[in-house]
Chains A and B, each alone.
Chain A
């Protein structure tokens, strides 16, 4: 379990994270959602201590990470796996070596054992025949998947993923979402995922924190989110006409009436195909 208490962070004059508190439980996917620039990455880095928050406290399993010294933090960090938004693969190492790196550092396994584990996790992220390639030879989505493989190779207790499926096709994105969900349940991991992908939100959002301009605007789960009355949140999740319709369809099924001012005729018929770019 990770507890975040009143985190604040400013860069020069702009307040990027403004008094955010949250409790992220083990064995579930905790999502941080919000528009681009709302502070998701900064919040995640504040939690793991890559950015030192100006004030507030973070607790891992009840212990104050913020107050720990370097050595105590190292012990926690060995239980953390993290996928960065830009993948952050070591570009002098091949895919295989990247994934094996944490094993080389922290286990006393022999080469065969390590290789087995590497292939196992690469298999789980649907990567084959790329073992000997360098990061510069991979597509963005492949890098993402190698990043995930590296993050989970040591079976972390805490898993952080910064936009795990941005840049992935919907099919692979689904595979990654499923993978994150599976290992979260399987190993009772406390998983924190930054995303603005509504599919992931609906798929894996056991707990959702909506950030708006650095503030916590809403929290809840993927069942509540659809019916939330929060205006800002609704603007975010129903930015796609498609989802708006989906919601209305569902409400129509459940209650027999449409909750807002839209005319039912709008929802049926050719005029309602998703508009360009949506």
Chain B
């Protein structure tokens, strides 16, 4: 499938339009859910970390450090991408599946348009551009959620939290999170695109294909998560 994707576009402007359209579909379309889960995952990490660190010898600011690192290393990239695999992945698979079944892909082919280039490539590139941005937003919002929960529940004050955030900060962790984001973005867009593009049958098969696409994307994300951690940490 990848091989057929890079040939000369007929009209670059149309491809650009499709790319921008996909960016807004993927990015704006899932911004809300990403923000909501980020706030809660940050809040929950603060509360649960505090619950586990009961020793009076550990300063409270450590809670902020732990929250910061778990959010950046795992929650923001992996959890968010698992959710995006559901949201974005099923959308991509069912959109392409519907176009296949209702012969819209054939209609494009007959016009002389390379449908892999026109339909699949913009989705993958848009995912690669937009999903890392979403992951960064998720990281920031997640830490903010943790900070909010800390002060709201009285576990630790905002100033101690902010102080903890700056302690022992490794910028590499952010880069690592971005590596993950790019890898997952590729999985989230290419796997569902494959399943959707090659659907055979009718509406029932579209549903099946998109479920299968989401399940396989999730497994691949977790698998890639482990491999990246083993290789790069």
Q: Does B162 contact A (CB under 8 A)?
A: no
Segment at the interface with A among B75-83, B108-116, B147-155: B108-116
B66-74, B98-106, B124-132, B172-180: which lies at the interface: B98-106
Q: Are A106 and B103 in contact (CB under 8 A)?
A: no
Closest Cβ neighbor of B11 among chain A residues: A105
Interface residue? B167 (CB, 8 A): no
Contacting pair A105 B10 (CB below 8 A): yes
Query: Any chain A CB within 8 A of the CB of B203?
Result: no
Q: Which of A45, A70, A76, A105 has the most CB of B within 10 A?
A: A105
Is A74 part of the contact surface with B, judged by Cβ < 8 Å? yes
Interface of B with A (CB < 8 Å)? 4, 7, 10-11, 13-14, 98-99, 102-104, 106-107, 109-114
B107 near A88: Cβ-Cβ < 8 Å:
yes
Known pairs A105-B11, A105-B14; A86 contacts B102 (CB<8 A): yes
Is A102 on the interface with B (CB-CB < 8 A)?
A: yes
Which 3 residue pairs of A and B lie closest in terms of their CB atoms, listed nearest first?
A77-B112, A88-B103, A78-B112
Asked if A90 is an interface residue, CB under 8 A from chain B, the answer is yes
Which residue of B is nearest A108, CB measured?
B11
A88 touches B102 (CB 8 A): yes
* Neighbouring A residues of B112 by C-beta, 8 Å: 73-78, 80, 106
Residues from chain B with a CB closer than 8 A to the CB of A210 are: none
Residues of B within 8 A of A50 (CB): 106, 109-110
- How far does the Cβ of A17 sit from chain B's closest Cβ, in whole Å? 17
Most interface-central of B102, B106, B112 (chain A CB within 10 A): B112
Give Cα distance in the complex from A80 to B109, angstroms. Answer: 10
Closest to B105 in A: A88
B20 to chain A, nearest CB (A): 14
Interface centre among B4, B7, B99, B107 (most CB of A within 10 A): B107
